[in-house]
Amino acid sequence: MTTVETKGYFTATTERDISTGDMVLNIGPQHPSTHGVLRVVVRLDGERVVEAEPVLGYMHRAFEKLAEQRSPLQNTALFNRLDWISGFCNEVPYCIACEKLAGIEVPKRAQVQRVILLELTRLASHSLFCGVFGLELGALTAPMYGYRDREYALDLLEMVTGQRMHTNWSRIGGVKDDFPEGFYERVPAILEYYRTRVEQWLGFLIDNDVFVDRTRGIGVLPPSIALEYGVSGPNLRASGVSMDVRKEEDYLGYADYDFEVPVGEYGDCFDRYVQRVREMWESCNIVEQALDDLEPGPVNTGTGRLFKVPPGEIYIRSEGPRGEMGYYLISNGGREPYRLKIRTGSFSNISVLPYLLRGIYVPDIVAILGSLDFVVGDVDR
Amino acid sequence: MPLESATLDSVSEDLRAALGDDILEVTENWGHLIVRVPPERRPEALAVLKAIGFDFYSFGCGVDWPDEDVLEVLDNVFSTKRMARVTVKCRVPRSTPRVPTATGVYGGADWHERETWELFGIVFAGHPRLRRLLLADWQEGFPMRKDEVLRPRVEKPWPGEFFEA
């Protein structure tokens, strides 16, 4: 029995004790047009998060099971749907895995074309992030610019592949076809546009006091925790770990290109934002060099649809816009993989959320979620 | 920078020194090391790897081998200092699939183990919260095991087979 004083108007008594216990707040599941359907259950003490638990599975499509019934050509079409913002980055590592097991030498021209398309996809993905991250913080103008910028890279992808996002362009042994006429003439202007945009993105939000206040020092991810949880890509590099698959692995001839791997300093939301803006600049550098690198020649080895992957097991990873994108392929000699583990960047990146969200204020939840740049299709697979 | 075999040799030496007879087999596979350990020594093997510089927990997963009647647990770790990758494998019988958890060693193993548990039915003993991660509560069986067939493919075979003739 508790008596509640109500400023002298009347006295109320209640049956229960009124205590300031923890409150459970359910965030999401959100509409698919955002990052996808992620739900986070947080336990709050006043305005502070005591405990946070992401709830996954709203977009689980059993890709690993489906892949066991599909040939490589069908699988690349499937894997576009993993991380739909950067579809081309998902199909290439799977093709590389099959090629390595089969001992197929990919023609140089195909490799360079893959690099160009990969980096254009990365430009599109990071442009979108720069805009949408503003939206998460309440800056409603930023996403307009983000969506607009992304379309320039997607236009180029559409010109080559016929599709903006689900390109399905990579084949075992190369790419489907050569670049169309008029492609090379269009690229330099678009790269120049992206370079001016990088400068504007840096000024646009970083000169904004509100943006800095809401991101500086929020969601600090120490490098040791990031590594232990398998956080990779821009999120890891923002924490100061210089780990980039393009530099570490010998794939697609990335070693021939001169580019830097920028790293952050504090690993907070602000650094993760700046990290992606800086990586857009490096992507422009890579595309420029790759365009000069295009030698005449074939773009695929003409591997047909009845191609069988020789037995063996291999792990191939690549640098996607969301971190380390890898396939652990176990083949028993058939067309379909015996077992295919899809290691996606987003899954590991948001597994660190319970750590990051502990002890922060409620409005910062959205800032941290946005700064990790995950796609739920990539998380749930 | 491609991985050099010299680093892999030094890694396998370190592993043998720390684990001794617990290592059943070490093989090199496409520039990575595959280390087979008994299931009950999985956390120790991963702890040794973490101590010798394997700081990045890449992924963990399961593989079903119905012909040999075993389920396999894979843990893939990477060292950012030595630029080397190791896959730790342990095999458990399909009737009693049970391995100790590695969440105490790598925090990142948490979700990967929950996923492997619900998809393959491999129990990770000592896991702090072995709950459903991706699947719905009403889902029955372990969908990634080989005896769980993909229902639409049974109802109607893939028409692409037609071209094989």
User: How far does the CA of residue B30 sit from the closest CA of chain A (Å)?
Assistant: 7
Which of B35, B113, B122, B134 should we substitute to test contact with A (largest number of A Cβ atoms within 10 Å)?
Answer: B134
Chain B contacts of A62, Cβ < 8 Å?
143
**pLDDT band for position A33 (cuts 50, 70, 90):** very low
Do residues A149 and A194 make contact, with C-beta atoms less than 8 angstroms apart? Answer: yes
- The answer to whether A341 contacts B164, with C-beta atoms less than 8 Å apart, is no
How far apart are alpha carbons A374 and A274 in whole angstroms? 16
* Window A:313-342, CB contacts with B under 8 Å: 313-315, 317, 324, 326, 328, 330, 339, 341
How far apart are alpha carbons A64 and A70 in whole angstroms? 10
* Structure-token pair, residue B84: 């080397």
Report pLDDT for A303: 79
How far apart are alpha carbons A89 and A317 in whole angstroms? 11
- The answer to whether A380 contacts B134, with C-beta atoms less than 8 Å apart, is yes
For the segment B8-47, what is each residue's pLDDT rounded down to a tens digit?
A: 777 777 778 777 777 778 888 888 888 888 888 888 888 8
Chain A contacts of B32, Cβ < 8 Å?
315
pLDDT at B85 over 80: yes
For the segment A95-145, what is each residue's pLDDT rounded down to a tens digit?
A: 999 999 888 888 888 989 999 999 999 999 999 888 888 888 877 888 888
* Window B:10-39, CB contacts with A under 8 Å: 29-30, 32
- Do you know the residue count of chain B? 165
- The answer to whether B108 contacts A351, with C-beta atoms less than 8 Å apart, is yes
How many domains in chain B?
A: 1
Domain boundaries, chain A: 65-380
Residue identified by tokens 């994108």 is A325
Which of B36, B82, B133 should we substitute to test contact with A (largest number of A Cβ atoms within 10 Å)?
Answer: B133
Give the Cα-Cα-Cα angle A161, A163, A167 (nearest 5 degrees).
65
pLDDT at B161 over 70: no
Do residues A262 and A233 make contact, with C-beta atoms less than 8 angstroms apart? Answer: no
Q: What ipTM was predicted for this assembly? A: 0.87
* Structure-token pair, residue B129: 């919260």
Report pLDDT for B132: 86
* Window A:343-362, CB contacts with B under 8 Å: 343, 347-348, 351-352, 355
3-state SS record for chain B:
CCCCHHHHHHHHHHHHHHHHHHCCEEEEECCEEEEECCHHHHHHHHHHHHHCCCCEEEEEEEEEECCCCEEEEEEEEEECCCCEEEEEEEEEECCCCEEECCCCCCCCHHHHHHHHHHHHCCEEECCCCCCCCCCCCCCCCCCCCCCCCCHHHHHCCCHHHHHHC
- CA–chain centroid gap for A315, Å, is 20
Strand partners, A42: A25, A52
Which of A78, A315, A325, A340 should we substitute to test contact with B (largest number of B Cβ atoms within 10 Å)?
Answer: A315
Domain that holds residue B114: 5-164
Measured between CA atoms, the residue of chain B closest to residue A380 is B134
Residue A137 DSSP code: T
Burial of B128 (0-12, 13-18, 19+ CB in 10 A): exposed
Q: Please name which of A309, A283, A299, A323 lies closest in space to residue A109, comparing C-alpha atoms.
A: A299
Using DSSP's 3-state secondary structure scheme, residue A167 falls into coil
For the segment A300-350, what is each residue's pLDDT rounded down to a tens digit?
A: 887 777 788 889 899 998 988 988 899 999 998 888 889 999 999 889 998
**pLDDT band for position A13 (cuts 50, 70, 90):** low
**pLDDT band for position A32 (cuts 50, 70, 90):** very low
Chain B contacts of A355, Cβ < 8 Å?
107
- The answer to whether B83 contacts A324, with C-beta atoms less than 8 Å apart, is no
Burial of B115 (0-12, 13-18, 19+ CB in 10 A): buried
Do residues A224 and A233 make contact, with C-beta atoms less than 8 angstroms apart? Answer: no
Burial of A105 (0-12, 13-18, 19+ CB in 10 A): exposed
Chain A contacts of B143, Cβ < 8 Å?
62, 65
- Taking every pair of Cα atoms in chain A, the longest distance, rounded to a whole number of angstroms, is 89
Chain A contacts of B72, Cβ < 8 Å?
none
Report pLDDT for A5: 57
Report pLDDT for B99: 92
Asked if the C-beta of B104 comes within 8 angstroms of chain A's C-beta atoms, the answer is no
Q: Report the interhelical angle of A87-102 vs A72-79 (nearest 10°).
A: 150
Report pLDDT for B162: 60
Do residues A24 and A31 make contact, with C-beta atoms less than 8 angstroms apart? Answer: no
* AA letter at B75: D
Chain B contacts of A224, Cβ < 8 Å?
55
- The answer to whether A248 contacts B132, with C-beta atoms less than 8 Å apart, is no
pLDDT at B1 over 70: no
Average pLDDT over residues A31-54: 77
User: How far does the CA of residue B153 sit from the closest CA of chain A (Å)?
Assistant: 8
- The answer to whether B111 contacts A351, with C-beta atoms less than 8 Å apart, is yes
- Which residues fall within 8 angstroms of residue A88, CB to CB, at 6 or more apart? A80, A117, A118, A121, A157, A161, A167, A169, A170
* Structure-token pair, residue A271: 């650094």
Report pLDDT for A36: 67
* Window A:222-241, CB contacts with B under 8 Å: 224-225, 227-230, 232, 241
| CA end-to-end distance (rounded Å), chain B | 44
pLDDT at A39 over 60: yes
Asked if the C-beta of A256 comes within 8 angstroms of chain B's C-beta atoms, the answer is no
Asked if the C-beta of A243 comes within 8 angstroms of chain B's C-beta atoms, the answer is yes
Average pLDDT of every residue of chain A:
85
Report pLDDT for A372: 87
Q: Please name which of A94, A79, A66, A99 lies closest in space to residue A309, comparing C-alpha atoms.
A: A99
Average pLDDT of every residue of chain B:
84
* Structure-token pair, residue B156: 């109607």
Classify strands B98-100 and B123-125 as parallel, antiparallel or unpaired.
parallel
Q: For the structural domain made of A65-380, what CATH number should be given?
A: 1.10.645.10
The answer to whether the bond into A29 is cis (omega within 30° of 0) is: yes
